């Protein structure tokens, strides 16, 4: 599969000259099957989703968007996804089951409807469907997906493991492992769901909003440290780690410093122009 990183920022977009190299768009990753000319599976709908339209040569997207959770920075690109609003587009959006019985479209509409926004999700042009899934294993767009709930803060959050039968990618953009205890290294517990999702994966895309020295003051927003991301990969036997979901005020120069901490290790500080062929 081919993996396009379209937005790698967390919490809020980060415009400005100091964020050009790593990018300021929020979470979105596009997956394309080998030999295909367009992605069919999108992970999250942050403002990076706007950039997915350029990957659709016909101008129309046909496929599925999987949301890890419903926080603003993972959803605010939705109404601005031009390829999804094309008259010939067909898009299914799947969200984590909120366990309250409310329909998926109504859950999304809580933050995307007047007075917060002028258009509801079911008023978008193109053809849209909305559904919710419980933690499970399922097939979508020719991929096999394992969805497990992982700790975050402020709503149900899933991590995903996506495989095309040849390669695999694990996606955990928001993760609060220290809520379960600090663990042996002080960065948070390597708990069973995280280890299962990351076990032997080719690439672990993981929450890297913080560094270890920031955990004491900032972990309460529900995020992980870069050291945890790399440590989880080692514990689970993941082949490579892609740092992701950076603090909105973490400049390019600051990210370069973080990347240098992992020199010689199978760790990449992802940018919103990164493309991986697995």
DSSP 158: E
Q: Is 35 exposed, middle or buried (0-12, 13-18, 19+ CB in 10 A)?
A: exposed
Domain ranges of the chain: 2-277
* pLDDT level of residue 93 (50, 70, 90 thresholds): very high
* pLDDT level of residue 119 (50, 70, 90 thresholds): very high
Q: Measuring CA to CA, which residue among 149, 154, 158, 33 is closest to residue 94?
A: 158
Cis peptide before 189 (omega within 30 of 0): no
Looking at residue 188, its pLDDT comes to: 95
pTM: 0.97
Looking at residue 122, its pLDDT comes to: 95
H or E stretch covering 258: helix 252-260
d(C-alpha 262, C-alpha 78), whole Å: 34
Q: Within 10 Å of residue 77's Cβ, how many Cβ atoms?
A: 27
For 253-271, the pLDDT digits (tens) are 999 999 999 999 999 999 9
For 214-233, the pLDDT digits (tens) are 999 999 899 999 999 999 99
Extract the tokens encoding 139.
């097939």
- Stretch 11-38: mean pLDDT: 97
Mean pLDDT rounded to a whole number for the chain: 97
Contact of 31 with 162, CB cutoff 8 Å? yes
Looking at residue 194, its pLDDT comes to: 98
Looking at residue 218, its pLDDT comes to: 93
- Stretch 238-264: mean pLDDT: 97
Extract the tokens encoding 167.
């390669």
Q: Measuring CA to CA, which residue among 27, 123, 15 is closest to residue 79?
A: 123
2-277 adopts what CATH topology? Metallo-beta-lactamase; Chain A (3.60.15)
Q: Measuring CA to CA, which residue among 265, 266, 261 is closest to residue 225?
A: 261
Extract the tokens encoding 11.
């919490």
In sequence order, the 6+-apart residues with CB closer than 8 A to the CB of 134 are: 97
For 150-205, the pLDDT digits (tens) are 999 999 999 999 999 999 999 999 999 999 999 999 999 999 999 999 999 999 99
Looking at residue 148, its pLDDT comes to: 98
């Amino acid at each position: 599969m081919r993996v396009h990183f379209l937005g790698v920022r967390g919490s809020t977009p980060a415009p400005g000259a100091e964020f050009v190299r790593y990018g300021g768009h929020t979470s979105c990753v596009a997956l394309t099957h080998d030999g295909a000319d367009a992605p069919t599976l999108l992970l999250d709908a942050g403002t990076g989703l706007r950039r997915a339209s350029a990957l659709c040569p016909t101008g129309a997207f046909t496929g599925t968007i999987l949301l890890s959770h419903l926080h603003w920075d993972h959803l605010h690109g939705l109404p601005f996804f031009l390829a999804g609003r094309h008259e010939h587009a067909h898009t299914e959006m799947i969200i984590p089951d909120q366990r309250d019985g409310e329909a998926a479209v109504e859950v999304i509409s809580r933050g995307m409807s007047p007075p917060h926004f002028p258009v509801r999700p079911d008023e978008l042009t193109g053809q849209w469907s909305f559904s919710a899934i419980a933690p499970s294993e399922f097939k979508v767009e020719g991929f096999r997906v394992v969805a497990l709930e992982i700790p975050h803060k402020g709503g149900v959050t899933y991590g995903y493991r996506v495989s095309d039968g040849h390669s695999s990618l694990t996606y955990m953009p928001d993760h609060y492992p220290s809520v379960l205890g600090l663990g042996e290294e002080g960065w948070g517990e390597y708990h069973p769901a995280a280890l299962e999702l990351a076990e032997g994966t080719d690439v672990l895309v993981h929450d890297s909003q913080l560094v270890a020295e920031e955990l004491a003051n900032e972990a309460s927003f529900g995020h992980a440290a870069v050291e945890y991301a790399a440590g989880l990969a080692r514990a689970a036997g993941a082949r490579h780690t892609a740092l992701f979901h950076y603090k909105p005020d973490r400049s390019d120069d600051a990210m370069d410093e973080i990347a240098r901490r992992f020199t010689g290790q199978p760790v990449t500080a992802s940018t919103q122009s990164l493309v991986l062929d697995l």
